[in-house]
């Protein structure tokens, strides 16, 4: 009799213990989770691309203008243009445009500087609206994933034949709850990252724009002199 009880207990234990060969189902993340993963990859790509672009665009404008000023004082315009060509960034392009149009007078130089500034600012702000949009949309997508996860929980609570409503395996309910939590957490995390990155990148844009404004004033002095008259007109006078 004790032997029979031991065999029965062993059989019941084997029924409760899953076989090693039986695969254990893993919880799914849900469709919206993978959509958020793709969106986060796009946001990271935008941030990296903008950081590399700003690293090339932002130069030591004071040192660059000092070098151009020394060359202009020697009336070596070709060397000044070569320095501008060898220097990346909007500041160098702005100074080069001012040098090329120095014969047109103060009005022409101011017009060219304004045109260069209007064309360079959109380049600096490229893809920043996309980053701001992701920061606003990511929490909403995470909320949609959360709703899908809870919908999966309630779906498991309903049996296919309409009987035993309100009963389901705990693991099946946990899958839907984990899907909901993963989507919500990822959406909020993406929004926080994009918001911080957007503010930092806008700060970098403002710094470069300030450098352009200082360089534009200095370019007028370099090409037209302190009084705004070209060197050629002063010589002819």
Tens digit of each residue's pLDDT (9 = 90 or more) over 118-163: 888 889 999 999 999 999 999 999 999 988 888 877 776 765 544 5
Low-confidence ranges of the chain (pLDDT < 70): 1-28, 156, 158-173, 225-237
* Confidence (pLDDT) at 165: 54
Residue 93 counted as domain residue: yes
Provide the token pair at 21. Answer: 């060969």
User: Residue 42's Cα: distance from chain center in Å?
Assistant: 8
User: Residue 122's Cα: distance from chain center in Å?
Assistant: 16
* Confidence (pLDDT) at 223: 75
* Confidence (pLDDT) at 3: 41
Provide the token pair at 229. Answer: 């008259």
How many residues would you count in the chain? 237
* Confidence (pLDDT) at 12: 44
210-218 contacts at long range (C-beta below 8 A, 24 or more positions apart) = 211/58, 211/59, 211/61, 211/91, 212/90, 212/91, 212/94, 212/117, 212/120, 214/61, 215/61, 215/65, 215/91, 215/94, 215/95, 216/94, 216/98, 216/113, 216/117, 218/65, 218/69, 218/95
Residue 8 counted as domain residue: no
Q: How many domains does the chain have?
A: 1
Find the domain containing 57 and state its range. 29-227
């Amino acid at each position: 009799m004790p032997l029979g009880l031991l065999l029965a207990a062993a059989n019941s234990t084997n029924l409760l213990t899953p076989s090693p060969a039986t695969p254990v189902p893993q919880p799914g993340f849900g469709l919206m989770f993978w959509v958020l993963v793709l969106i986060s990859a796009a946001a990271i790509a935008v941030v990296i691309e903008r950081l590399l672009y700003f690293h090339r665009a932002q130069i030591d404008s004071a040192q660059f203008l000092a070098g151009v000023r020394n060359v202009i004082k020697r009336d070596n315009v070709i060397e000044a243009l070569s320095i501008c060509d060898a220097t990346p960034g909007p500041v160098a392009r702005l100074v080069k445009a001012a040098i090329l149009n120095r014969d047109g007078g103060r009005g022409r130089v101011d017009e060219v500087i304004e045109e260069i500034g209007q064309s360079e600012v959109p380049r600096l702000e490229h893809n920043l609206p996309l980053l701001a949009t992701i920061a606003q949309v990511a929490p909403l997508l995470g909320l949609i994933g959360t709703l899908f996860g809870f919908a999966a929980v309630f779906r498991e609570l309903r049996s296919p034949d309409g009987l035993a409503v309100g009963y389901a395996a705990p693991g099946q309910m946990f899958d839907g709850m984990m899907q909901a939590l993963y989507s919500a957490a990822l959406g909020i995390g993406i929004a926080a990252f994009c918001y911080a990155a957007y503010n930092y990148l806008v700060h970098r844009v403002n710094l470069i724009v300030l450098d352009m404004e200082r360089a534009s004033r200095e370019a007028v002095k370099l090409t037209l002199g302190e009084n705004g008259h070209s060197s050629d007109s002063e010589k002819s006078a």
